[in-house]
Amino acid sequence: MIRHLFYCDTVGALGSIGLLLLRLVMGAAFILHGWPKIQDPFGWMGPEAAMPAVLLALAALAEFGGGIALILGLLTRLATLGIGSVMVVAIGVVHLPQGHPFVSKGGHSYELAAVYLACALLFLLLGPGRYSLDALVFGRRQKENPTIPSHAVFNDSSS
């Protein structure tokens, strides 16, 4: 049952290629967003930070470490849970009170954070796809234990 948390073959081969491409792009974006934060994990928001320093460090780790995990496709659902949480806080605490839903001159729009949140939810629901370390590690265990179903409702039967 716990293995299903880490990998469940929910999409076919073609869908897995799409998930791989999205994982690579989103992972690279979060590494780039997280790198400056990981260099100053307790103070990257400045002295007026709206949250405790330990939460700033966790956000930096979620972004940078989550980006690496996404690229590798390793513990993808756990990584996107962290990334999604950071995006919810970013929207609610930073962007929403200061800006507009779409592009604004001040840079306080929350559209990008909302797109990242939607992508995180997608990976949380579908998993990383077949072309991931999760599939290699946890998928093999599913095949060894036939009591765990290896396909979900969204499986593409043509692949």
Largest CA distance in the chain: 55
Mean pLDDT for the stretch of residues 1-20: 74
pLDDT digits (tens, 9 = 90+) for 73-126: 999 999 999 999 999 998 888 877 776 666 666 666 788 899 999 999 999 999
Looking at the chain, which runs of residues are DSSP E strands?
Answer: none
Distance CA 33, CA 63 (A): 7
In the chain, helix, strand, coil percent, each to 5?
65, 0, 35
Distance CA 54, CA 92 (A): 18
Q: How confident is the model at residue 42 (pLDDT cuts 50, 70, 90)?
A: confident
Higher pLDDT, 95 or 131: 131
Whether the per-residue pLDDT at 145 is higher than 70: the answer is no
